[in-house]
Amino acid sequence: MASAAGSWAEVAVEPGWLTEDELASARDRVPILYVEAVPVRVGEDGSVEQVGLLLRALPDGTISRALVAGRVRHGERLRAALIRHIERDLGPLALPRLPVSPTPFAVVEYFPDPTVTGFHDPRQHAVSLAYVVPMAGECEPTSAALDLAWVTPEEASGDLAGELVGGQHRLLRMALAHMGHAGA
Instruction: Give me the residues that bind a copy of itself (CB under 8 A), please.
Output: 18, 22-23, 25-26, 28-33, 40, 42, 44-48, 71-80, 83, 97-107, 109, 111, 116-117, 125, 127, 129, 132, 134, 170-171, 173-174, 177-180, 182-183
Kindly tell me which of 28 and 159 has the beta carbon lying closer to a copy of itself.
28
Least distance in angstroms from the C-beta of 64 to a copy of itself: 17
Kindly tell me which of 146 and 182 has the beta carbon lying closer to a copy of itself.
182
User: Would you say the C-alpha torsion 122, 17, 172, 102 has a positive or negative sign?
Assistant: positive
Least distance in angstroms from the C-beta of 127 to a copy of itself: 6
Q: How far is CA 169 from CA 14, 129, 165, in A?
A: 33, 15, 7
CB proximity list for 112: less than 8 A, separation 6 or greater? 120, 121, 122, 123, 124, 125
Least distance in angstroms from the C-beta of 129 to a copy of itself: 6
Q: Are 89 and 133 in contact (CB under 8 A)?
A: no
Q: How far is CA 46 from CA 35, 50, 97, 100, 175, in A?
A: 23, 12, 12, 14, 15
Kindly tell me which of 16 and 147 has the beta carbon lying closer to a copy of itself.
16
Least distance in angstroms from the C-beta of 33 to a copy of itself: 5
Least distance in angstroms from the C-beta of 143 to a copy of itself: 24
Kindly tell me which of 48 and 69 has the beta carbon lying closer to a copy of itself.
48
Query: How many CB atoms are closer than 10 A to CB 22?
Result: 11
Q: Are 99 and 133 in contact (CB under 8 A)?
A: yes
Kindly tell me which of 5 and 83 has the beta carbon lying closer to a copy of itself.
83
